[in-house]
Amino acid sequence: MSENLVTSLTLDDLRDLLQQAGYRVEAVTDPVANVAYLRSATSGLAFDIRPGNRLAGDEGWRFADMAFVSILQVNGELPRDLVNGWNVARRFSRLQMSGRFLALCMDISIVGGVTRSHLRTHVEIWDQLAQELIVYLREGLRGSHANGADRGVESEVVAPRSVDAPNVDPATWPSAPTSH
């Protein structure tokens, strides 16, 4: 039995896919760029799903790729080896620093057509990576504090209030270790 190929998506299509996977999802609009996107959360970690490139000749809002993005605020300094170590060890996502913010990103392309099962698998991969990030940062920060690699460095990674999804209880956000 063969599945029909998905060759483009709308935000509504993507929201339906995420809801079928058990996520609570809301559509929001960036007030500065006036661009619509989706917001959700997994294990207390808020994330956005941003549509990518529109299909050539398409008058509607269909797109051929998307980015899953979670932004965390960093208080203090985060060891670059910690960020680089994630990128070396993980294939489907990237971790990057931009000022005081740490971004976990994963791109998904549907160019040429993919099955709904393929899309669902990418959502599952994102969920796993987001959960692994929490543990990775906790252990990495704990390890750098324990071995003295953090001399003079205080670091704490928190979810900024500006990206909290309404269905996320901030009390469930796992706290990262801090040095005193």
Per-residue confidence (pLDDT) for residue 75, from 0 to 100: 87
Examine residue 43 and state whether it is found in any structural domain, yes or no: yes
Examine residue 167 and state whether it is found in any structural domain, yes or no: no
Range of the domain at 79: 11-162
Examine residue 175 and state whether it is found in any structural domain, yes or no: no
CATH of residue 97's domain is: 3.30.1460.10
Examine residue 125 and state whether it is found in any structural domain, yes or no: yes
Q: In angstroms, what is the C-alpha Rg of the chain?
A: 18
Examine residue 105 and state whether it is found in any structural domain, yes or no: yes
Per-residue confidence (pLDDT) for residue 157, from 0 to 100: 55
Examine residue 178 and state whether it is found in any structural domain, yes or no: no
Phi, psi of 99, rounded to the nearest 5 degrees: 65, -125
Neighbours of 109 (CB within 10 A): 12
Examine residue 1 and state whether it is found in any structural domain, yes or no: no
Per-residue pLDDT tens listing for the chain (180 residues): 467 999 999 999 999 999 999 999 999 999 999 999 999 999 889 999 999 988 777 666 889 999 999 999 998 888 899 999 999 999 899 999 999 999 999 999 999 999 999 999 999 999 999 999 999 998 988 866 555 444 333 445 555 433 333 333 333 333 333 332
- pTM score: 0.78
Gap between the Cα atoms of 151 and 79, Å rounded: 11
Examine residue 70 and state whether it is found in any structural domain, yes or no: yes
Report the domain count for the chain: 1
Burial class (CB in 10 A: 0-12, 13-18, 19+), 49: buried
In this structure, are strands 45-51 and 36-42 parallel, antiparallel, or unpaired?
antiparallel
Q: Which of 77, 45, 58 is nearest to 8 (CA)?
A: 58
